Amino acid sequence: MEIVNFLKTIPLFSRLDDGELLRFAELTREKNYPKGSVIVFEDDPGDSLFLVREGRVKVVLIGEDGREVILGVLGVGEHFGELSLIDDQPRSAHVIAMEDTNLLVLRRDDFRRRVESNPAVAWALLVELSRRLRRADGKIHGLALLDVPGRIARLLLDFALEGENDTIEKPLTHQTIAHMIGASRETVSRTIREFQIQGLIRVERRRISVANRPSLKRMAQARV
C-alpha cells in the first residue's frame, strides 16, 4: 500500500482507483542509484518508465567536447522515460542522479497491458505528454527570444510554480542554472546577485524564494 499511496501523488496515475493502482504497484521494481551515477545513457534501448521516489535526477545532453546542457531537473513524484512507453526508439538523453536516488521502474510491456485494460491510463499519459511539450515550447521560446536575466527569471518562476508557492523546493546551484539556460556560471552568479539587490528574489541557505513575482514575469516576457 505504500507504493499505491505514492502512485496516487503522480498525475499519470492519480485518477485510477485503488484496485488499478495496486496492479501497477505489483508490476514496479525498486532501484537505488548513488549520487553521480548514470541511470540511463542516451541511445540506450528505451523499455521502461522511471518514477522518482526519493532524490533528484537531471536529464542532460552531453556534447562531444564534454559540454553539458540540462534539459530538466526532476524530483520526488516526477518521472522520465514516458516516451519509451509509446515508441520503440532509443533514449533521447542521459539521466544522472544528482543525489542518492530511489526509483520505481515499470517496464513498457507491463504498462501497455494495463493500458489495454484501462483506457484512462492512456488518456493520462496523453495529458502528461502534452504538458511536457508545452514546457519544451516555452523553453525554446526563452532560449531564442530572452536575454540571460529573462531566461533566469522564467526558470525561477517555472520552478516556483511547480511547488505552488514562492519558494523553490529543488536546490539549484548556479552551475545547474547555467547548464539549463545556456550561459556561463559567472554570468548566472552575477545576475542572481543583481536579482537579490533589486529585491526580486531571496536566497537563504541556498534556497531561492521569489520576492517580486510581477517584476520577474515582466523580465520573463521581454524580448532581446
Q: Where do the structural domains in the chain lie, given as residue ranges?
A: 2-138, 146-221
Q: What is the pLDDT of residue 164?
A: 62
Q: What is the pLDDT of residue 130?
A: 84
- Average of pLDDT values for 39-60? 92
Least confident of 88-92, 100-104, 190-194: 88-92
- Domain 2-138 - what CATH class? mainly beta
- pLDDT tens for each residue of 147-184: 999 999 999 998 887 656 688 877 788 999 999 988 99
Query: 195 or 129, which is more confident?
Result: 195
User: What pTM was computed for the model?
Assistant: 0.77
- What is the fold, at CATH topology level, of the domain defined by 146-221? Arc Repressor Mutant, subunit A (1.10.10)
Q: What is the DSSP string of the chain?
A: -HHHHHHHTSTTTTTS-HHHHHHHHHH-EEEEE-TT-EEE-TTS---EEEEEEES-EEEEEE-TT--EEEEEEE-TT-EE-GGGGT--PPPSSEEEESSSEEEEEEEHHHHHHHHHH-HHHHHHHHHHHHHHHHHHHHHHHHHHH--HHHHHHHHHHHHHHHTTSSB--S---HHHHHHHHT--HHHHHHHHHHHHHTTSEEEETTEEEES-HHHHHHHHH---
